[in-house]
Amino acid sequence: MSIIKVLMADTFSISFFLLFAAVLSFILLFKSSKKKCSRYKFPPGPKPWPLIGNFNILNMSFPQRTMYKLAEQYGPVFTFHMARKKYIVLTGYDAVKEALVTQADDFGERGLTPSTKHNFDGKGIVFGVGESWKTMRRFTLSTLRDFGMGRSTIEDRIIDEAQQTLDVFAQYKGRPFNPTTHVNSAVSNIICVLVFGHRFQYDDQQFLRLQQLVSDSIRRSGSPMVQLYNAFPLKIFLMGDIQRVRANIKEVRSYYRKVYQQYKAEHDRNDVRSFIDRFIIRQNEEHNNPNTYFDEENMERCVSNLFAAGTETTSTTLRWGLLFMMKYPHIQEKVQAEIENVVGRERPPRADDRKRMPYTDAVVHEIQRFGDIVPNNLLHETKVDTTFRGYHIPKGTPVIPLLSSVLYDKTQWQTPHKFNPGHFLDAEGRFVKRDAFMPFSAGQRKCLGETLAKMELFLFFTSFLQRFTFQPPPGVQPQDLDLSPCPGVTSSPTPYELCAISH
């Protein structure tokens, strides 16, 4: 079997030998030019091998684990070579906050890999850069707020969606089922109301297909084959996961273009109900502006970003939450007792209940911390030449602010590697905020949907536990439940089944 066939057959078990051999086979395609610039001073780090850099020591399924170990040896700021490119890795709360908050302007650009550059071209919100990103972020944040993000109007939508999801859970009558699709659909419908102006039925095949494409792309985007391509962007590596992600994105955008054209044809300026409607208005207003950023490409990428981000991270957090409740039934009981005491059973929980439910609030926060949904963060890049902790780093240097190292920082958390709601409670049981709680990142690139996500997490989680007790399938003990994450850009739980028992 050839090297390439082995790589395709099992990308998650790529060995250094195969990687090294693949690189060597294309060595003649690289120019052997090494540029040295004495005016820059990079942090220390592991010595790179020729051509491959530090790939020989990288855990390609879980890169953050490699970074943890290197931080112990080289400190919270170090250099890691992806092939011949130098990356700055930031670990721990102090270093990440200093870069993303204190020096936000210097570290606020989005880093683009060859794959994200091809797929998004610097447009949209998540992978947007420069003035295009600034314009799209301002417009998107303003539009979502106008349509109720963080307000009672969207709260009512979340409560209604939660009740419909509970009815679906009840149909299983206590039998085991995988909650993934149901939770994804419920969460996704909230962002769909904002973006499209309507929700989808849970059995809508187009809706389910969009979710599938997003989930598959996020999982594949963190695969070893994609990492290999990003380090060595050669056509020979355009296979497997790379091709699948591109095909997924093409299909998603084709759907969004059709929706966009339909909305444009039916557009009524006096009946604005969605993000797309508002985008069309702005596009018409800037029709004669040759430098406008309100073009169809930005529309597609913004809608794609909102649908993916508004579905994946929140639904993944909720699935971790249900798994943790099965794993730690004594914690589930305490949450349910607080719900019973504060809310009762006659009405659904509301956002205002949070301030009277410190334990539940602490549990939701601990789910986000311990679940570690985006462990490696999204790539940043230095916007200008900058000095950081005595190192002089050039403009355009990719930066990895490792969120996982903040959420598990042993200087910030009493028991970082244990699920412990006490991290967010004082001695009297009152909820306390923690500066090192950064699941949404920080600084200029902080998640713009944080307010919505927090409301969704609290309302869905409390609604679920108000009506059901979640237990493992028959024959499975709580202590036997697997908390191992799946590889990918986001850290999702290994697929599991649960039993929703009415109470």
Burial class (CB within 10 angstroms; exposed 0-12, middle 13-18, buried 19+) of 477: exposed
Distance CA(197)–CA(9), nearest Å, equals: 43
Residue ranges of the annotated binding site for heme are: 447
270-274 LR contacts (CB < 8 Å, sep 24+):
273/197, 274/147, 274/194, 274/195, 274/196, 274/197, 274/198
**Residue 48, CB-side half-sphere exposure with 13 Å CA sphere:** 16
Evaluate whether 130 touches 122 at the Cβ level (below 8 Å).
Answer: yes
Distance CA(177)–CA(77), nearest Å, equals: 44
Residue 336: partners with Cβ closer than 8 Å, 6 or more residues away? 465, 466, 469, 503
Strand-pair partners of 387: 392
Alpha helix (H) residue ranges in 147-204: 152-170, 180-196
Evaluate whether 256 touches 288 at the Cβ level (below 8 Å).
Answer: no
- Amino acid 103 reads Q
154-157 LR contacts (CB < 8 Å, sep 24+):
154/190, 154/193, 154/194, 154/452, 154/455, 155/350, 155/351, 155/455, 155/459, 157/190, 157/193, 157/199
Distance CA(298)–CA(128), nearest Å, equals: 9
Residue in the structure block whose two tokens are 């990356």 = 87
Distance CA(114)–CA(229), nearest Å, equals: 8
Evaluate whether 264 touches 280 at the Cβ level (below 8 Å).
Answer: yes
Backbone angles phi, psi at 82, to 5 degrees: -100, 105
Alpha helix (H) residue ranges in 266-380: 275-285, 296-327, 329-342, 358-371
Measured at the alpha carbon of residue 91, what is the angle toward residues 98 and 40, in degrees to the nearest 5? 70
Residue ranges of the annotated binding site are: 447
Distance CA(250)–CA(111), nearest Å, equals: 22
Residue in the structure block whose two tokens are 């095949």 = 205
- Amino acid 485 reads P
- Amino acid 171 reads Q
**Residue 42, CB-side half-sphere exposure with 13 Å CA sphere:** 21
Per-residue tokens: 261: 């054209």
| 385: helix, strand or coil | coil
Evaluate whether 362 touches 423 at the Cβ level (below 8 Å).
Answer: yes
Distance CA(455)–CA(442), nearest Å, equals: 19
